[in-house]
Structure 1
């Protein structure tokens, strides 16, 4: 009987610290992947990817055990200018016919305190996979008005275009792209 009680207690304690699985709410427009790049060093060009999906597992007691996966449809780039978007989708930049998607898969989470963390992972973009680090922050979590449960995060990172095989020259101030991520997940 004592063994059974210990086994039951161990099972209950393990289940209470298991990570919850979430689906990123991109369909409800409660998530976004935004970018900005300097335009010729004179101003900023901003935009977003309108079509993406992803999942994450998260436990507030063990944030370092989180797992994240995001797929981005590169053809969904939107800089609020149709002709520029056509150029960005072409072979000078994204080459969406050959590389229709980009993907991020986390490999390690490092807690920094106060909800801050470094999310490390492999980013596959333009046919090249490289490790990147996203500086992330937990925004909050809790019940939503529709009977569900949500958790939200934001993050930023900078990638060098040449690291991913994009070498179109827009000048020295335009060699990197800043990504800003807003993620709200619905618990499954």
Structure 2
């Protein structure tokens, strides 16, 4: 199959994360607004062109005070850095439908290489005559690498917010044209 343009179906896709809280539990969150430029043959992602953009102000952890703190200067600084971006630079097939996708992740004006494990979940025809493909992506990034360093020491030891952020994407894309 040749490379085609694909558009994310936001109603059937998600960008989620989780992070340690107080060393004893995890807080989960999501971003509601995101988009991508995808040019790919879903059955062979090694030649794909992928650029992903997330509106950081769309963060939602189900706690308004925490979300406002995340949007502020201590974390994402959404006013000055409204977008988080990822541009794939290298895609390696690990096994059938499994890939390591490395690219430049930019958060808060800092760009670093990161690698995510991507699974091609398959494709099929939808009830409206379109072709859809599904992908899952998972990885871990260190938030302090991107200047998101705010924290508070706990009386019992440790810190309020962990450094390692687990990132999880579920993407359903519609073939264009």
> TM-score under structure 2 normalisation?
0.91
Q: Which of the residues 159, 173, 176 maps onto 2:164?
A: 176
Please tell me the root mean square deviation across aligned C-alpha atoms, in Å. Answer: 1.4
Q: Which of the residues 96, 100, 104 maps onto 1:122?
A: 104
Helix, strand or coil: the match of 2:78? coil
8 Å CA contact retained: 1:55, 1:185: no
Deviation at 1:167, TM superposition (A): 1.1
Flag as ranges the 4+ runs of structure 1 deviating above 6 A: none
1:76-123 superposed Cα distances (whole Å, 9 cap, x missing partner) = 000011111111111111111111111111111100112110011111
Unaligned runs of 5+ in 2: 153-158
**2:47 match:** 65
Is the radius of gyration larger for structure 1 or structure 2? 1
Q: After superposition, where does 1:126-165 map in structure 2 within 5 Å?
A: 126-165=108-147
Aligned pair count? 170
CA distance in 2, matches of 1:149, 1:61: 13
Name which structure has the greater RCO, CA cutoff 8 Å, separation 6+.
2
**2:8 match:** 24
CA distance in 1, matches of 2:160, 2:58: 27
> TM-score under structure 1 normalisation?
0.86
